[in-house]
Amino acid sequence: MSPSTSTTPPLVELIARAGERGLAAAALACLDRCLPLLVPEATDQLRPLWLGVARQGADWPDRVAEARAAVEAAGAAPADAEEAALVRRMLDAAPGAWAREPLREWADTCSLAALELHHRLCAAPSPGLAEVLDRCRTGGPEGVGPLVEGELRRQVRVLEVLGDGGAGGLRRALDLSAEGRRVLGAVLSRRARTA
């Protein structure tokens, strides 16, 4: 189902409605999918944050610090500094407080950065990039390309499964994140072969 259908609210509405757990998972899933652009051999550096989400924010400041330290210890960023900087901004924006407003700001930051990164991977950034991404988040994926459309679909789905309140929501969010990371990995491999 397309994120722009009448039965699915736009991404910005889903973010506005989400609770703390949904917002944190949405932001973290975006970061998780894009982490290979900052840490090429990304593995489980973000596990502390996933654990914090699973435990409804228990020891959240410590989880944020652990994840940042794990990313720093994992090694060098890839050559494209702009892409790495966008991922680092997502990680740096993780709030120290488990509270709705800072988590909403983090979810917004990560949503936009992830969409921009996927746009960069399939097209050169255009002067109207901000308008393109805004339209994507408020309306639908028309005209943004398959990579951005796939990322938008995953962002919407994570918020939906966490909003349902079911026990399997976080597991499904992790699966969606892994799926997106595989897609991004394939794109990066193709780019490396043609460079």
The answer for residues whose C-beta is within 8 angstroms of residue 185's C-beta and 6 or more apart is 36
**Residue 82's pLDDT is what?**
85
**Domain assignment of residue 142, yes or no:** yes
**Domain assignment of residue 4, yes or no:** no
Number of domains in the chain: 1
The pLDDT tens digits of the residues spanning 95-133 come to: 999 999 999 999 999 999 999 999 888 765 565 777 878
How much is the average pLDDT of 12-35?
Answer: 95
**What range defines the domain where residue 41 resides?**
11-194
**Domain assignment of residue 180, yes or no:** yes
**Residue 191's pLDDT is what?**
80
- Which residue has 């609770």 as its token pair? 19
> 167: burial class by Cβ within 10 Å (0-12, 13-18, 19+)?
exposed
The pLDDT tens digits of the residues spanning 40-52 come to: 877 889 999 999 9
**Domain assignment of residue 46, yes or no:** yes
**Domain assignment of residue 5, yes or no:** no
**Domain assignment of residue 116, yes or no:** yes
Is the pLDDT higher at 143 or at 147? 147
**Residue 107's pLDDT is what?**
97
pLDDT band at 1 (very low <50, low <70, confident <90, very high): very low
The answer for residues whose C-beta is within 8 angstroms of residue 121's C-beta and 6 or more apart is 147, 184, 187, 188, 191
- Cα 78 from chain centroid? 18
Tell me: pLDDT of 5 over 50. no
Largest CA distance in the chain: 45
74-83 burial by CB neighbour count: b if 16+ within 10 A, else e?
A: beebeeeeeb
Q: According to DSSP H, which parts of 56-168 are helical?
A: 60-73, 81-92, 100-122, 129-138, 146-163
Tell me: pLDDT of 144 over 80. no
**Domain assignment of residue 2, yes or no:** no
**Domain assignment of residue 25, yes or no:** yes
